Structure formats: structure tokens, C-alpha cells
């Protein structure tokens, strides 16, 4: 059983004891939204940004959040304190709540909030140091005309199907293309590549989550004087890139060593190293140890 703590229905309890009714529409239909947030030195990292995206995801699915931002922030702080670990991962989940069978959200009188605090290691340290292998999945990222990928919804089957393909191919992570064959993102991370000293990432409109780590890296790279651009990318751009890396809350920054069997020129590359150092500095600055 995973170690951790959970805020549910107004109480903080061990993660192993936390449960939801089977009539919750989050379980029945994937009807709900979530956020993953890291904490360092017992301080939530970029909490405001995550709470804003949670609210936007909820608005996009016409779910009214009855909790104010300050209320959510104090629940997060209380949970981190009760959990007692200096660093880890939080999962904020808002489901449509319990209701009778049938997809109509009107059957659910009140949303349910669940917050989990636990440890998270997406990639073992030695693999992170060497860089990971990506393969392009045959399954395509859903378009905004189906389910807008900017909504961080409780249904992750689209990226899960891609990840299953990557695992079957012996790779570490999957890349998803959009319906036009352009690069969208990895299953649960955004993608950056470096070409001739420039850092490139697809615009969110290509079918990616509006990643909070992605936005931070764009900002930090610019501050470092690195030329950055959000441009549509084809598999060719990836296969011939000088370097590549993934960004995400869970992943942080992970260098990529191979894409579809093509070895990249540098891993970890020079732009990755600079961005990673700036990212660590930023975390240290934002999440200073309480004195
Ligand atoms: N894309 C998807 C589909 C994700 O689930 C995540 C993880 N939240 C990301 C990208 C990275 O986004 P962020 O940096 O906000 O965690």
C-alpha cells in the first residue's frame, strides 16, 4: 500500500484508509479534474498557478468549485504539515461527486475534494542521469474538438494508451502527435528540443496541456538569454534535434537520449543543463526552508 496522507471530507487520514463511494462520478465516468503539485521544504511549489489551472479545468467542464483559493491553500498547507515529509507530491482531485447512475452532472448535488500527499519518483535516478528513450505512439492526442487537452480531466485513457505502446516497444515514454501529425506532447510531460542553440516547444494549440513547468522553463530560458520559440514540430525536427528534454511537475526536467531509435547528439545537452540549473535555483528560492 502506498504511504501517504489524504484530506477527504474535511479530515486528514492515512492514504491507505481513504476511500470514496462507488457512486462517485469521478469513478463512474471520469467526471472531474485534478492537479499534481510538488512541495519542497514543506512548501507547495507554484501553488497559485496550479490552483488557477484547477479552476480553469473545472470551469471548462461546468463544475463550480465551492472552495475559495485561500481555502484550498490552507487545506494543502495543513496536509503537508500532517504528512510530515519535507518534500513530495500532492494530488488535488475534484470529482463531480456522488450521484445516481447516468452521465447527467445534475445527478450529483455536490463536488468532492480529495487531496493526497505522497512520494513520487517517475523515473529512477540512474535513468534520469542517462536520459530516457521515447517512441512516437500510433494513438493520437485528442483534439480540442473532442476533448481539449488543456482540461486536466480525470480521464487519462488517451495518454495511458500511448504509454502502453511505449512500454510494449521497450521505451520509457511515449510521444503523441496530433491529428495533423505534428508533435503535441509526451504522455504526461511537455517536450522541448534544441536546434542550433535555440530551444523549441510546440504551441499548446498543437494539443498539449498548458504545462506549468513548460511555462517556467520558457521564462527561465529567456532570462538566461537562450533564444526560445513556440513552433509546430514534426517528427523530423525531433529526430534531427541536438537535444531534447521533457518537463512536468512529476517529471521535473528529464533529458531524452533517443527518439524512435535515433540517438540525439547530446544527452544531457548544454541547454538542458542550463535550464535544469536555473530550475533548481528557482525552486530553492521559491521554497526556502522555514527559519
Ligand atoms: N502534459 C500532460 C498530459 C500532463 O499530465 C502533465 C502533468 N501535469 C504535463 C503535460 C506537464 O504539466 P505540468 O508542468 O503543469 O505538470
Give pLDDT tens digits for 175-227: 999 999 999 999 999 999 999 999 999 999 999 999 999 999 999 999 999 99
The CA distance from 159 to 142, in Å, is 9
pLDDT higher than threshold 90 for residue 290 = no
The reply to whether ligand 1 has any atom less than 6 angstroms from the CB of 190 is: yes
Element housing 275 (H / E): helix 270-286
Q: How far is the CA of 68 from the centre of ligand 1 (A)?
A: 23
Neighbours of 65 (CB within 10 A): 18
Task: State the DSSP string of 181-226.
Answer: S-EEEESSSEEEEEETTEEEE--GGGT----HHHHHHHHHHHHTT-
pLDDT digits (tens, 9 = 90+) for 245-281: 999 999 999 999 999 999 999 999 999 999 999 999 9
Q: What pLDDT was estimated at residue 289?
A: 81
**Which of 159, 188, 219 maximizes ligand 1 atoms within 8 Å of its Cβ, making it the mutation to test the pocket?**
188
pLDDT higher than threshold 80 for residue 1 = no
Q: Measured between alpha carbons, how far apart are the two ends of the chain, in Å? A: 34
Query: Any idea how long the chain is?
Result: 291
Q: H helices then E strands: how many in the chain? A: 8, 15
152 is a catalytic site residue: yes
Return the ligand 1 atom nearest residue 35 CA.
8
Q: What pLDDT was estimated at residue 87?
A: 97
Q: How far is the CA of 260 from the centre of ligand 1 (A)?
A: 22
Q: Considering only 27-36, 90-99, 140-149, 272-281, which range has the smallest mean pLDDT?
A: 140-149
Q: How far is the CA of 29 from the centre of ligand 1 (A)?
A: 21
Q: What are phi and psi of 4, to 5 degrees?
A: 165, 180
Cell of 13: 487520514
pLDDT over 70 for what percent of the chain?
99
To 5 degrees, how large is the angle CA 235–CA 240–CA 244? 80
To 5 degrees, how large is the angle CA 212–CA 9–CA 250? 25
The average pLDDT across 62-71 equals: 97
pLDDT higher than threshold 70 for residue 38 = yes
Q: What pLDDT was estimated at residue 94?
A: 98
Q: Reduced to 3 DSSP states, what percent helix, strand and coil does the chain have, rounded to the nearest 5?
A: 35, 30, 40
pTM for this predicted structure: 0.97
Amino acid at each position: 500500500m502506498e504511504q501517504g496522507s489524504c484530506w477527504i471530507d474535511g479530515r486528514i487520514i492515512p492514504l491507505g484508509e481513504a476511500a470514496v463511494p462507488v457512486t462517485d462520478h469521478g469513478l463512474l465516468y471520469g467526471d472531474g479534474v485534478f492537479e499534481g503539485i510538488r512541495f519542497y521544504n514543506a512548501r507547495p511549489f507554484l501553488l497559485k498557478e496550479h490552483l488557477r489551472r484547477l479552476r480553469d479545468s473545472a470551469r471548462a467542464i461546468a463544475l463550480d468549485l465551492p472552495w475559495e483559493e485561500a481555502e484550498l491553500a490552507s487545506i494543502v498547507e495543513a496536509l503537508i504539515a500532517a504528512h510530515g515529509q519535507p518534500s513530495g507530491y500532492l494530488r488535488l482531485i475534484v470529482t463531480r461527486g456522488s450521484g445516481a447512475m447516468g452521465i447527467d452532472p445534475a445527478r450529483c448535488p455536490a463536488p468532492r475534494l480529495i487531496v493526497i500527499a505522497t512520494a513520487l519518483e517517475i523515473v529512477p535516478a540512474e535513468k534520469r542521469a542517462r536520459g530516457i528513450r521515447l517512441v512516437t505512439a500510433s494513438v493520437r492526442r485528442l483534439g480540442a474538438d473532442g476533448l481539449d487537452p488543456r482540461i486536466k480531466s480525470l480521464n487519462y485513457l488517451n495518454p495511458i494508451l500511448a504509454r502502453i505502446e511505449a512500454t510494449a516497444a521497450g521505451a520509457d515514454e511515449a510521444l503523441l502527435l496530433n491529428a495533423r501529425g505534428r508533435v503535441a506532447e509526451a504522455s504526461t510531460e511537455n517536450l522541448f528540443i534544441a536546434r542550433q542553440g535555440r530551444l523549441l516547444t510546440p504551441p499548446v494549440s498543437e494539443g498539449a496541456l498548458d504545462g506549468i513547468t513548460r511555462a517556467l522553463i520558457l521564462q527561465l530560458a529567456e532570462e538566461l538569454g537562450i533564444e526560445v520559440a513556440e513552433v509546430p514540430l514534426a517528427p523530423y525536427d525531433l529526430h534531427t534535434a541536438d537535444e531534447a528534454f521533457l518537463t512536468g511537475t512529476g517529471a521535473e526536467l528529464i533529458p531524452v537520449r533517443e527518439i524512435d531509435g535515433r540517438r540525439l547528439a547530446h544527452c544531457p545537452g548544454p541547454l538542458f543543463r542550463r535550464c535544469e540549473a536555473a530550475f533548481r535555483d528557482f525552486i530553492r528560492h521559491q521554497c526556502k526552508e522555514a527559519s
